[in-house]
Structure 1
Amino acid sequence: MLSEQIDVYCERTDFSFWSEPVNALTNAAFLIIAVIVWPRTRGNPMARALTVILFVIGLGSFAFHTTATRWGAMVDTLPILGFVLLYLFAASRDFLGMRAGRALLICLAFFPFAFACTLVFSHFGLGSSAAYSAVPLLIFLYALLLRSRAPKTSRGLALGATLLCLSIFMRWLDDPICATLPLGTHFLWHILNATMLGWMIHVYLTHMLEGRAQGR
């Protein structure tokens, strides 16, 4: 049932609303970065949509870390998936120059790719964090494909993927380190993830603005 409560993070000790205060409040990082990025997105509907989703990610994650319910888990993860798919579409269309139809097919192909990555990386002890393994791999792949045609964008993507790897590591570390550090490390996943997503929007905006400048 969607109202069923679940305990999956180190900081939580019971099912009260504020049992994960640090995990809950660090979701402000998503909101703050979205507000900072928003003015730069004027005139770019794709970047604006990504920034709105970034803001919603913070709200959804706050809901999960306060209610600890299955419905909270859904509103936590669905906006993240939405961001990944929209950025993948934008990167395929605007970085690689694909037509919209082909970019949509790439988005559909993400699901079997992510499923395969989850199966593989779960064998390395990543637990539920293995579900995110496909994302940095894809970003690194796009960085490699853009190495010659858009080196600045390529470097930006590689930095974003590296940040995400560190973020995923902090998410994974939350359980193993729990006995030593009762606070856990999941809050660092929030801070690093918010930074990384804001950076990815910056990379996209910079690429698009430089493209316009070259077209003049």
Structure 2
Amino acid sequence: MTQHAAEWAAYVDGYCERLAPGLLGEPFNTISNVGFLLAAVAVWRQSRGEAGPRVLAAGLALIFVASTAFHMLATRWAGTVDSAAIALFVLAYAVVFAHVFLRAPWRWAWLAVPAFLALAVPVVAGADALGLPGAQYAAPLVAPFVLAALTARDAVWPALLTAGGLFGLSLTFRSVDHTVCGSFPPGTHFLWHLLNAAVLYLVTRTAVGRWVGSPERADPSTAGR
């Protein structure tokens, strides 16, 4: 095995629950990923057979698979796949939001990706400079509140605001995981999973509910509209 391959296959012991290598080394963290699967199934059923909304359901299912693999295998490559699955979902949701709620045509909705990155880079850098725990998630923490502000005249803003509050609580549980090991060996990372599943379901259900109810059916294939 080359040095580069060995680095990617390196063992990762990053959570309170993980005590040694092994597929069952993080039972709470592994099983709690079922929340993402349940969210994916619920969104899939809500999509009413439309291909577009089912892309978001597939994204939730991918997070379930990637996060489960990471917490079972505990390797660097699996952790990278886990982070990539979350990032892809966030960017896909930004595009869907721009089309569904801001009524941007599909040919322009993709600009939500650089817009999100333009927000994320300074926010994450600022949180990191301040030494805040979970700084890499600062942008997703701010994002629901920004989306709620953008939909202030829409009935969906309370759901987005609630999602932001839940994510703040979720991030707190992720941040204190190692500090509770002595009194609670399983740690609190599994609560990060469960609350994140609720957050992602809430924001996705909100978008899909509007998407499938739209008279134009918001089909991505009509990219020129």
> What is the TM-score when the length of structure 1 is the normalising length?
0.89
CA offset digits 1:125-170 (Å, max 9, x no partner)? 433x21111113122112112111x1x2111111111111111111
Counterpart position of 1:49: 55
**Residue in 1 aligned with 2:15?**
9
Structure 1 unaligned blocks of 5 or more: none
| Relative contact order higher in (CA < 8 Å, ≥ 6 apart) | 2
Count of residues in correspondence between the two structures: 210
- Provide structure 2 residue ranges, at least 5 long, that are not aligned to the other structure: 1-6, 217-225
- Name 1:119's counterpart in structure 2: 125
Determine if the alignment matches structure 1 residue 69 to structure 2 residue 82. Answer: no
Aligned to 1:188: 191
* 1:40 alignment partner in structure 2: 46
Q: CA RMSD in A?
A: 1.8
**Which one has the bigger helix percentage?**
1
CA shift, 1:112, in A, is 4.0
2:165 aligns to what?
162
The CA deviation at 1:51 is: 0.6
- The alignment-based identity, stated in percent, is 33
Distance in 1 (alpha carbons) for counterparts of 2:52 and 2:37: 18
Please name the residue that 1:82 is paired with. 88
Offset at residue 46 of structure 1 (A): 2.9
Q: Among 112, 127, 144, which residue is 2:149 paired with? A: 144
Distance between the aligned counterparts of 1:80 and 1:121, measured in 2? 19
* TM-score under structure 2 length normalisation: 0.86
Residues 46 and 164 (structure 1), Cα distance of their counterparts in 2 relative to 1, 3 Å cut:
farther
Is residue 35 of structure 2 the alignment partner of residue 29 of structure 1?
Answer: yes
* Alignment partner of 2:206 out of 182, 203, 208: 203
Alpha-carbon distance, 1:123 to partner:
4.2
Q: Which moved more, 1:137-146 or 1:54-63?
A: 137-146
- 1:190 & 1:169 partners in 2: Cα distance? 12
**1:126 corresponds to which letter in structure 2?**
L
User: 2: CA distance between counterparts of 1:114 and 1:178?
Assistant: 31
